């Protein structure tokens, strides 16, 4: 029997997905906040790192690049 509940397993999945999405997105430059590859997106107003993986446009760009290869 698993030592995790279904709910915990789902949270672990979401957490792993968060970092995978961020890692992929950070191979691109962000057109929204101008973060360079390898840098985490920052909120242009507060200069704080964003709480989501990256700005949407950057995630979209990295997804499109993956589709091409």
| Positions that interact with Zn ion (CB under 5 A) | 30, 32-33, 35, 41, 55
Tokens of 58: 């950057």
Closest CB to Zn ion among residues 6, 46:
46
Least separation in angstroms between residue 63's CB and Zn ion is 15
Closest CB to Zn ion among residues 13, 43:
43
Closest CB to Zn ion among residues 22, 55:
55
Distance CA 52, CA 35 (A): 14
Least separation in angstroms between residue 43's CB and Zn ion is 9
Distance CA 38, CA 6 (A): 33
Question: Distances from the Cα of 43 to the Cαs of 9, 35, 65, in angstroms?
Answer: 30, 10, 24
Least separation in angstroms between residue 5's CB and Zn ion is 35
């Amino acid at each position: 029997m698993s030592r995790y509940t279904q709910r915990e397993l789902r949270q672990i999945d979401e957490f792993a997905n968060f970092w995978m999405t961020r890692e992929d997105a950070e191979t691109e430059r962000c057109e929204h906040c101008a973060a360079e590859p390898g840098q985490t997106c920052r909120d242009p107003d507060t200069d704080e790192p964003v709480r989501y993986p990256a700005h949407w446009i950057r995630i979209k760009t990295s997804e499109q690049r993956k589709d091409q290869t």
